[in-house]
Amino acid sequence: MRDPLQSTQPSPAEKRTDVMLWVALLLSPLAMGINTIVGFTVAHWTTDTARKGACYLVSAIDFALCIFAFAISASYSRISRGTEDAEAIDGRRAFMAKVSMLLSVLAALLVIAGTIAVITLHPTD
């Protein structure tokens, strides 16, 4: 644990941890956006051609992004298991890991809901 009042630069490992936590935090909303925008675009093509394969592919890619973001944040959450959220630097990393896991689960549920809609609806509905 580093003293937050110290004026030293963070180590390369700490910089990598911060970058990976930001990637995990931003990857889930990106997956939700891709699922929404690309899913609606592909839905029009699916309606015209009666082929659902592209919709399933979009959902699978977005679900994989959510799982990847969850795996990154869960690994950093395990590393910072005993850290209090009130600590300045390590507490911020623990909080970011927890929020990223929550966003990943919510994004995965959105992707699953979109996939269920594709499964239940017929092309002309």
- The DSSP string of 33-92 is HHHHHHHHHHHHHHHHH---HHHHHHHHHHHHHHHHHHHHHHHHHHHTTT--TTSSHHHH
Contact 73, 104 (CB under 8 A): yes
- Please name the residue that has the structure tokens 């909080």: 95
Question: Would you state the pLDDT for residue 118?
Answer: 80
pLDDT in tens, 2-17: 565 665 677 888 888 8
pLDDT in tens, 30-56: 999 988 888 888 877 777 777 788 888
Question: Would you state the pLDDT for residue 86?
Answer: 63
Question: Would you state the pLDDT for residue 85?
Answer: 60
User: Cα dist. 53→43, 47, 58, 69, 119 in Å?
Assistant: 11, 12, 9, 24, 11
- Please name the residue that has the structure tokens 């809901």: 113
**How far is residue 96's CA from residue 23's CA, in Å, rounded to a whole number?**
11
pLDDT in tens, 61-107: 999 999 999 999 999 888 877 766 666 677 788 888 899 999 999 99
Tell me phi and psi for residue 4, to 5 degrees.
Answer: -70, -20
Structural domain boundaries in the chain:
26-87+94-120
Check whether 124 has a pLDDT greater than 90: no
